Structure 1
Amino acid sequence: MGDHPREGADLARLGAEARLLAAGPPEAAATGEPLAGRGLAAATLRAGQAEWREGRDAAETAGEFRGRLEHAMRAAIAATLREAEPGLPLLATIGSVSPFVGLFGTVWGIMHSFAGIAARQDTSLATVAPGIAEALFATAIGLVAAIPATIAYNRCTTRLHRIRQEALAAAGALALRMSRRPARLAAAE
């Protein structure tokens, strides 16, 4: 994920769709009109509609019916948001492994310095400097990779968490509204 423009746009789009659900989707959601399009809002509403059209079973309480609607919409939200997460494990790996790669390079550079001291029997700056420079460069490379990856990972996971929470809350409210309206059953189709 990270700061790639497309991925930032994807998160912005998902956020806008979660806000659309929270603000109250079009009445099409509760009238049974088919919803076109892709994305979080459309997938969530289609999942709710599919359950709503089936209607409430005679043995099912109103709360169970609402729960079934909400469960279907939550599953659609989870599936849609999973599609937005494929780069997160890579960012987490880079953010957590890079400092260790830098540390390995630091140890390697210091060992190189000690080898130079032993080979020349000299502790002058000219003998030690190349190994120390390698060590510092390796540390810098590890940090240059780790810091942006960790920041991007944290930003993306925080945004996805907020989007998820907003969409789940909206699904609960929508399920409540939909469960209060009688469904037009297959007999009318």
Structure 2
Amino acid sequence: MGNDPGPLEARLAGRLSELRLEHGWSLEELARRAGVSRSTLSRLERGEISPTAALLGKLCAAYGRPMSRLLAEVEPEPPQLVRAERQPVWRDRETGFTRRSVSPPHPGLRGEVIEGVLEPGADIAYEEPAVAGLEHHLLVLDGAVELTVGGAVHAVRPGDCLRYRLWGPSRFVNPGPGPVRYVLLIVLP
């Protein structure tokens, strides 16, 4: 897990604690539902650690919301236009994943555009989608990614676009040698 949480991680820690309380769950109950240790959840909610992409994926699945919505909830109400330098960026240094929210997220809208960068060797597995049936369109800009969806492995190269609905586990792997940069359009069912 990452160290030294920044302002976004601090707001995220607070929101995760609020979500658990809104659901009326103890740390033990959330640990059981998400498959994450109670001590990790406690440290995360206190802002002592930064979550990894896999950990956020498990928590989003337990709460039944996409990661984009969770991250949007910790940002102030966005304007319709967000300049590149003002787009929220989240980094999982442990796995080499950087996520930039390109489109202004809004809880009332169904679609969002995300830019992702995976460093060489990055391997991120999600046990289940935060929301079953999420529609994804993955467009690779640079590099290549191996994406496993529904048990099938797809090698996606620059200019390729993979469209899929997410019902089960998924895995993003950058076999290298360089980073992979992609755009992901997510549409709620």
The structure with the greater share of residues assigned to strand is 2
Q: Which has the larger radius of gyration?
A: 1
- Band the TM-score falls in, shorter-chain normalisation: under 0.3
Relative contact order, higher structure (CA 8 A, sep 6+)? 1
The structure with the greater share of residues assigned to helix is 1
Normalising by the residue count of structure 1, what TM-score does the alignment of the two structures yield? 0.23
